[in-house]
Amino acid sequence: MTTQIADKTIPETSAVNLTLYYTPRSRSFAALWLLEELGEDYQLESFDITTARHKKADYLALNPMGKVPLVVDGDTPIPELGAIAIYLSDRYPGAKLSPLTEDPQRPAYLRWTFFSSAIMEPAFCEKLFKWEIPAHSVAWGSFDQMLDIVTKAVTDSTWLLGDSFSSADILVGSNLRVGQMLGIVPKEGPINDYISRLEKRDGFVRAEAIEARESDRFPAP
């Protein structure tokens, strides 16, 4: 027997600790990309989101929010993209996707990791849904402030941590790519240059190929 591990096939007797629950055309692309950058074997549990697989009891036992992505490491479930990024980057340090705890860059890494969900995602919603909320009254400030901060961060720097690529780039970069698709993030200038650098990475290219394959398996309704 064989088990499909991402886009590789390995003997059933081989030990694979990591499983990614994933659905194409969703936020789980960031976790897919992260695992490709990680370089560890993992099992891909891909499903059509319209089947509500993520709302069934066994899945809710692992992630009570019933959302994707979800990574399971052995018997340990890790939901939420920020938690997935920090956990996997620290647990598998060979990929060098996060600074060590004593590294001076560690605070910046954590900042950008949380910035991707705590600031960027609600700011995107503000822009898309035309929320009229005073910037001083919400934790994310405003869409324009968020975009200005990200633009400055990547203007004179290859990655968010300078010359060191990290899983924070995967999360922030994934959001920026979605923002471009939605027409709310510029397709020129420093942000576009940053996205172009990200899209040239081997891990991204592999993840994009898997995403295309799974999108063909589960076409959009």
- pLDDT tens string 121-141: 999 999 999 999 999 999 999
Question: Which two tokens mark 79?
Answer: 């939901």
Helix or strand run (H / E) with residue 5: strand 2-5
CATH 3.40.30.10 applies to domain 2-96+203-217: yes
Q: How confident is the model at residue 111 (pLDDT cuts 50, 70, 90)?
A: very high
The span from the first CA to the last CA of the chain, in angstroms, equals 33
- Decide if pLDDT at 3 tops 50: no
CA 33 – CA 208 distance, rounded (Å): 8
Query: Kind and range of the H or E element at 46?
Result: strand 42-46
pLDDT digit string, tens, across residues 125-182: 999 999 999 999 999 999 999 999 999 999 999 999 999 999 999 999 999 999 999 9
The pLDDT tens digits of the residues spanning 29-67 come to 999 999 999 999 999 999 999 999 999 999 999 999 999
Q: For residue 21, list its beta bridge partners.
A: 45, 70
Fold adopted by 106-201 = Glutathione S-transferase Yfyf (Class Pi); Chain A, domain 2 (1.20.1050)
CA distances from 35 to 97, 145, 184, 209 (A): 11, 31, 27, 14
For residue range 190-207, what is the model confidence (pLDDT) as tens digits?
A: 999 999 999 999 999 999
Whether the pTM exceeds 0.85: the reply is yes
Query: Structural domain boundaries of the chain?
Result: 2-96+203-217, 106-201
